[in-house]
Structure formats: structure tokens, C-alpha cells
Amino acid sequence: MLALEGVKILDLSRLVPGAFCTMLLGDMGAEVVKIEAPGVTGIGSSPGAVSRGENSRAAAYYAPDRNKKSIVVNLKSEAGREIFYRLCRGADVIVEGFRPGVAKRLKIDYETINKLNPRIIYCSLSGYGQDGPYHAFPGHDVNYIAMAGVLGLIGSSERPPAIPLNLVADFAGAALYGALGISIALVARNKTGKGQYVDVAYMDGAISLMTWFNCGHFFDGSTLKRGESWLHGAYPYYGVYETKDGKYITIGCLEPHFWENLCRFLGKEEYIPYHFALEHTFHKPENEKWDEIRSFLRQIFLTRTRDEWFDLLIRNDVPAGKVYTPDEVFGDPQVLHRQMVIEVEHPALGKIKQVGIAPKLSNTPGRVRSLPPLAGEHTDEILQGLGYKRQEIENLRQEGVVC
């Protein structure tokens, strides 16, 4: 049994955060149907959308679309909307990532669908949310994390902010919070019998992720500055160091006993008293001793390779981590043991590797049941399930309503 078995999700999203959100739910057993638009390609579109009719290798490896079926429907047509309405009557969740107002213009918004199915949970993912002075503004991850106060804190104080991929707003602020919001709404529906609207803003999610870091601001007005606090690497006990082989090792000696372990191991007991103090939370080092300690650590870490240091530090109970390149990650024994790289059988390509499922549930673990579909791969199957006859489907295809 899978935790979300029996939950039916219609995925209208066109960008990766929406696809990742529904992937997370699909991995836990939800039945996800991608409602794709005819001829949609470009940034964020799945390889399956540009590979219909081919045995596309890229589409098979596109993990955000695993555990899903695909139907291509022109929602701008009346007949296309009728297909969508029929799907909605038997669905539990809808996920869309259009700019605010688009779903209403297409007549597929929450108010319209709620009349057809009061139990529907309708989740909208948008940059700034469905209301407020910015709701119609365009944007992407870098814009949202900038406005959320995240970007200004990433990097060193001597350089401009460093862009952390699109992990914070896109994948955490939108996708993870979207999956969380939907899961909460499903639990609430079990109690009330009614669905509801889930409004997820990329910027809101990014701000929420900053909750702990903003406690001081609300308490006494104190504010973090980029590269100037203990968690920014401003202090040598928490940082990144180059090693003999040109690679990098990280240490995270935030607790005094870990710092003491490192100092004793390196034969520098005199450095033990120099550890965290409250001012480190907001201010960069001002005592010259910190420069000495950092200089020593930089020099000592250059005397061995990254992997040698990792083995030595862990053996001496010092928090350490290798700075991996992406290809190194999936050869790590812990990653393999935790099944964070999995193999799924493809009918033509053999075994396909993908990133595994993070939450490990003891009784209802997630599972990759199917590889990503090509766009429209299940159009006929889904339409037949809705009661359409073969000739009706062919007519719809000839009219450009479905593909």
C-alpha cells in the first residue's frame, strides 16, 4: 500500500516547480495526470513535450515527470474544457502554475471547478501569490529570493550575492510548500468533507524558510549581513577549505566539543577557547586571533587530500563533509545505502537511473511505479476512461482539441 493511493491529481503546471511538487505526491502513490498544452516547448517544459512519437532517452530520465500519465488537451477550446471538466469531477487535487488571472480566463479556475466538485483541492503556484500589489508581476527564483531577503545573505561580504541555483524559491518555496499545503488540505477534507483553495507563493515560501534567521530582527531589530555571521563562514570553525588535490573539505564545528576535538587533533589546544560567542551571530571577526586561526587551517588542510582529511576528521569525531561534484554524489556509500539513486526498468532503454525518494516511511514507503511519459502518451486511454468513443476521440484529434 502507498500512502496517497487513491488520490487523483490533475497537473496543469508548465514549469519544473509544479512538476516537482506533483512528483513528490506521485512518489507516495497519488495518480497524477499531466494536462499538457499542444505544442508547448521551451524553458521548463519536459523532454516528453518535445519528443512525442519518439522513444526519447531524455524524456525517460526526466524524473519530475515519473509516476504520471500525460494527455494533451487544448483548454482554449470548448471541447477541450469539457474534457477537463469531466476529469475534474473524479479528481481530488488540481495543481496549476499560471500567472494569476489566466486560469479564470480559461474558465478552469477554482470557483468554476468547485461548483463541479466541492471536494476538489485546488493548488495555485505563483510568484507573489494571487493577491496583493505584486500579484501580476513577472518573476523567477532569483527575483523572489531577492525580495524575500535570502539572496542578499548568500556569498561573501566582498562580492555581490551568489545565486544558489533555483533551489530556494522554486523547489523549496513553491514545490515543497505546495506538496505540504496539498497534504494538509487532504487531511482537512477527511474531517470536513470539503476541498479548499491552496494559494502558494514562491516568495512567501522563501520568506518562511527564513523564519529562524529573522527571529532576531523581530526581537531587537538586529539584522544579518552577507558573509558576516557564524553560519556564513565568517568564523573559521564553520567553513570550506581547499585541500592538497585542489578539492574542498567542509568543517562544521558549531558545538564547543566538536571544535575542541578538531583543535586537539591538530595539536592546537590553545585555539580551544576561541569558539562561538553571541556576537558571532551578527558580526564578522574583529580579533586578530581569528585571522591566525583561519590562516593555520587554510595551510594545514593543504597538506592532505580531501578524502584523506574526511577520513581523519570523522575518525576524530569532527563534523566534516566533502565538497562533491554532482557525479561524485551518486557513488557515495551513504547515498547508495539510503537508496537516493535508484534504477527503474525502461522497456527499450533498460535500467534508468534517477534520484531516489527522500522521505523513508516504514509502513507505506514511496515507490517509482512508472517512468516519465511522452506528451499525450495516455490521451486515448484517459479519454476512453471518461466515456469517449474511438470515433469521438479521432474527431477531437482531427479538430486539434487533443493530441
As a whole number, mean pLDDT of residues 293-303 equals: 98
Tell me what pLDDT residue 41 has: 58
β-bridge pairing 238-242 and 248-252 = antiparallel
Tell me what pLDDT residue 50 has: 54
Tell me what pLDDT residue 9 has: 98
Q: At what angle do helices 306-315 and 256-265 cross, to 10 degrees?
A: 120
Dist. CA 3–CA 252, nearest whole Å = 36
All CATH 3.30.1540.10 domain ranges of the chain, comma separated, are 230-242+248-322
Tell me what pLDDT residue 42 has: 54
Residue whose C-alpha cell reads 507573489 in the numeric block: 128
User: Looking at the annotation, which residues are catalytic?
Assistant: 140, 170
The predicted-structure confidence for 344-373, as pLDDT tens digits, reads as follows: 999 889 999 999 999 999 999 999 999 999
Q: Which CATH number fits domain 230-242+248-322: 3.20.190.10, 2.60.40.420, 3.30.1540.10, 3.40.47.10?
A: 3.30.1540.10
Tell me what pLDDT residue 48 has: 62
Query: Phi first, then psi: what are they for 346, rounded to 5°?
Result: -105, 135
Dist. CA 47–CA 366, nearest whole Å = 24
Query: Has residue 168 got a pLDDT over 70?
Result: yes
Q: What is the 3-state secondary structure (H, E, C) of the chain?
A: CCCCCCCEEEECCCCHHHHHHHHHHHHCCCEEEEEECCCCCCCCCCHHHHCCCCCCHHHHHCHHHCCEEEEEECCCCHHHHHHHHHHHHCCCEEEECCCCCHHHHCCCCHHHHHHHCCCCEEEEEECCCCCCCCCCCCCCHHHHHHHCCCHHHCCCCCCCCCCCCCHHHHHHHHHHHHHHHHHHHHHHHHHHCCCCEEEEEHHHHHHHHCCHHHHHHHHHCCCCCCCCCHHHCCCCCEEEEECCCCCEEEEECCCHHHHHHHHHHCCCHHHCCCCCCHHHHCCCCCCHHHHHHHHHHHHHHCCCCHHHHHHHHHHCCCCEEECCCHHHHCCCHHHHHCCCEEEEEECCCEEEEEECCCCCCCCCCCCCCCCCCCCCCCHHHHHHHCCCCHHHHHHHHHCCCEC
Label residue 58 by pLDDT band (50, 70, 90): confident
Label residue 383 by pLDDT band (50, 70, 90): very high
Domain 8-209+340-398 part of CATH 3.30.460.80: no
Tell me what pLDDT residue 47 has: 66
As a whole number, mean pLDDT of residues 298-318 equals: 98
Q: Of 106-110, 147-151, 217-221, 335-339, give the lowest mean pLDDT range.
A: 217-221
Query: Has residue 52 got a pLDDT over 50?
Result: no
All CATH 3.40.50.10540 domain ranges of the chain, comma separated, are 8-209+340-398
Percentage of the chain surpassing pLDDT 90? 91
Look at 39 and 256; give whichever has higher pLDDT.
256
Dist. CA 81–CA 75, nearest whole Å = 5
Label residue 56 by pLDDT band (50, 70, 90): confident
